[in-house]
Amino acid sequence: MHTPSQPPFSIAAAIAAALRQLVPGSETPRLDAELLLGFTLEKPRTWLRAWPERLLTDEQAVRFFSQVEQRALGVPLAYLVGEKEFWSRRFVVGPGVLIPRPDTETLIEQALSLIAPDRPAAVLDLGTGSGIIAVTLAAERPLARVLAVDRSPAALEMARINVQQHQTTHVELRQSDWFSAITPTEVFDLVVSNPPYLREDDPHLQDDGIRYEPRAALVAGRSGLDDIAIISRDARRHLGSGGFLLLEHGYDQAAATGQWLERQGYLDIRHYPDLQGHCRVTRGRQP
């Protein structure tokens, strides 16, 4: 790490030094280094590339290399900079919530196809985390009323920040363990969820960054389907006639998820692929 007794680092030299630390563990070392330095200097990456000879102050260097060290240990980049882009919007994220991933855009695409833009709709987002699904749907469908629930108070506080930041005032936040705080009279046109779906022994739990994310938001029993089973069962009581349940799941869980929905009496079960061609989202319709 840089100390005041060392010569000042230029932008180019700081990035080069960071790369030596990041290359063994990060899949995108240069991107990580540039984003961390841009965050430290409050400058875009284009500025860094335009002014490689600019010198860092001692304080900037210490702060930058401290973050590089944490990233080299596997701390997710989004946690270090405190935000992540999703659906062309910036969301505040941090320890205690999952980091938004491109896979979830498939869920958003299908949800938007089921919410008419020109009339009101009631939407329930289960396990909202940082609120990316609820906020995105509310921003894209201003006439929809979105109830977003999570059992974690910390997650709800982060979701509240994102609701306020994106001015989606028609999103209501509520603490609830799945449907536990949903009253019997509350009925929705659409229930969406990106629930935990990894198996307890899933090797992906050791991947770069994932081991720092909340395990309770990732793992769902020995098969990875425990929460999907609960949601598909209980959603029937809160969906209006012809309403839809939309679930994100693992790349290899489409058949099993579809079977759960079929057992619970859903109709018109369909699967939707992500950008890699894996069936990532399954839909069922209330009779």
Digit-coded pLDDT (tens) for 35-78:
999 999 999 999 999 999 999 999 999 999 999 999 999 899 99
State pTM to two decimals: 0.89
Residue 210 pLDDT grade (very low, low, confident, very high; cuts 50, 70, 90):
confident
| Mean pLDDT for all residues in the chain | 92
- Could you tell me the domains of the chain? 11-73 (1.10.8.10), 83-285 (3.40.50.150)
Residue 20 has pLDDT above 90, yes or no: yes
DSSP secondary structure letters along the chain: ---TTSPPPBHHHHHHHHHHHHTTT-SSHHHHHHHHHHHHHT--HHHHHH-TTPBPPHHHHHHHHHHHHHHHTT--HHHHHTEEEETTEEEE--TTSPPP-TTHHHHHHHHHHHS-TTS-EEEEEES-TTSHHHHHHHHH-TTEEEEEEES-HHHHHHHHHHHHHTT-TTEEEEE-STTTTS-TT--EEEEEE----B-TT-GGGGSTTGGGS-GGGTB-TTTS-HHHHHHHHHGGGGEEEEEEEEEE--TT-HHHHHHHHHHTT-EEEEEEE-TTS-EEEEEEE--
pLDDT of residue 27: 83
Confidence of residue 104 (pLDDT cuts 50, 70, 90): very high
Query: Is the per-residue pLDDT at 4 higher than 60?
Result: no
**Averaged pLDDT, 3-12:** 73
